[in-house]
Structure 1
Amino acid sequence: MSAPQSALFVGIGNMGWPMAARLLGAGIAVAVNDAVPGRAADFVRQVGGVEAVDLAAAAAAADVVITMLPTSRHVADAVAALRAGLKQDHVVIDMSSGAPAATQAIAADLDVLGVTMLDAPVSGGVSRAVTGELAIMAGGDAAALDRVEPLLRAMGTTIH
């Protein structure tokens, strides 16, 4: 499979905003969604991309889904909302710092659909998210990691 050209980015808070902006800067088409009313529309006005109002429809239109959310519960809720739009061979990258057991449970649920989930929490804080110098601790299927590496490289300089 070729490198992803589009991404749905769910969670554009302090970390997610600059990470999604880095993807846009790398030429990736980005749709954004956030639980805070108006935040996605603000991102689109200030940075670019499109607002993803319907998560399932936005997931169906994207090559990759990225989550950057506060807790594993938030990730599970987001995945439940976009699940209907996921297709076989989709990749969901969770960049949140969640509970490993919860991430594994979400991944097992997605695997039934033929969707691969990668666990890719980050380190470096907001300043490194802005500069694209995050450290990314990526785990999951090697072929999926290879496929999404260009997206990860847009956000981080070190991938473990």
Structure 2
Amino acid sequence: MSNTLFIGLGRMGRPMARHISRHFPTVVHDILRENIDLAVEDSEAAPLYELNDIGVVDTMILMLPTSTHVESILVDSGLLEKLKPGALVIDMGSSVPDSTRKLAAKAVERGIDYVDAPVSGGVAKATSGELAILVGGEPRAVERARPYLEAVGKEIVVVGGNGAGHAAKAINNLVSATNLAVATEALIRGRAAGIAPERMIAVLNTSTGMSQASQVKFPNHILTETYASNFAYDLMLKDLGIAMGIETPNGATPVTQASYELLSRVRELLGEYPDHTEITRAYERYFNTPII
């Protein structure tokens, strides 16, 4: 019988663990005990309060905020050394590709398969089990991971070797954030031309300027001024930083570079724990102009 350990039970991890536990015998762990208790109440998983008690684990799934957390769990805490040869590690958070490649090399030395499989779609898609998953790893390891990915995802895109999945996720979020910034600027110009914000969004959504930002984020979170997409501004900046850390020839991406620099600069105008859709608020404050 396969034994699966799922670590990281935040907004995304908890519903993902619930789907995994429906298909595989699963134990769950988080740094916060209350998150473990909530996950167990909400799923078929069993609790694991102390990582020293992991026992035999065939598959470990990580849904952690950063590479630092992944490295701490696998290396600093010695969890990688506790896994037996033949185990599988799937990192489904947003990590730095270079870190992922180094961890994958350490795993391979121990006879352990390693796959990076970050997700896109937010809490709503995590809850419904319809995430998009971007996968990096050796082909055999990816095929071993596929049943777990299919338990939480609708679209699975294999993009390359170890680290490629994490690179793809960061680049996707760079485009997503840039789209949000551009749409915000479209509303500024629309207002200057006498076009109400909701009408400008309607224009984008019926024309070639349409994007996920105009279709989902503006109608649901920005025009309503609720700013509750459940994806933090700081996590967005983290992903943008990962993407911008990927070297390109001759600085060949000036548009996204400018977006990253502006979105980093205006962060100080927002309070603690802002939602990433508060980009629009930051624009209003930075440029001292009404948008909504």
Q: Can you list the C-alpha shifts for 1:95-144, whole angstroms capped at 9, x where unaligned?
A: 01111011111111222211121011110000000111101111101112
Equivalent residue for 1:110, pick from 90, 107, 111: 107
Q: 1:85 to 1:34 in 2, by over 3 A?
A: same
Tell me the distance in 2 between the aligned counterparts of 1:64 and 1:97.
19
Larger % of helix: which? Answer: 2
The answer to whether the 8 Å contact 2:27/2:48 transfers is: yes
Whichever residue aligns with residue 36 of structure 1, its letter is L
Aligned length: 155
Whichever residue aligns with residue 21 of structure 1, its letter is R
1:8 counterpart residue number: 5
Tell me the distance in 2 between the aligned counterparts of 1:65 and 1:86.
9
1:122 counterpart residue number: 119
1:9 partner SS:
strand
Q: CA deviation at 1:93?
A: 0.3
Q: 1:56 to 1:145 in 2, by over 3 A?
A: farther
Unaligned residue ranges in structure 2 (runs of 5+): 158-292
1:126 partner SS:
helix
TM-score after normalising by structure 2: 0.51
Larger % of strand: which? Answer: 1
Unaligned residue ranges in structure 1 (runs of 5+): none
Whichever residue aligns with residue 33 of structure 2, its letter is P
Tell me the distance in 2 between the aligned counterparts of 1:48 and 1:41.
12
1:78 counterpart residue number: 73
Equivalent residue for 1:131, pick from 128, 137, 140: 128
TM-score after normalising by structure 1: 0.90
Tell me the distance in 2 between the aligned counterparts of 1:67 and 1:90.
14
Larger radius of gyration: 2
- Which one has more relative contact order, counting CA pairs under 8 Å at least 6 apart? 1
> How large is the RMSD of aligned CA atoms in angstroms?
1.5
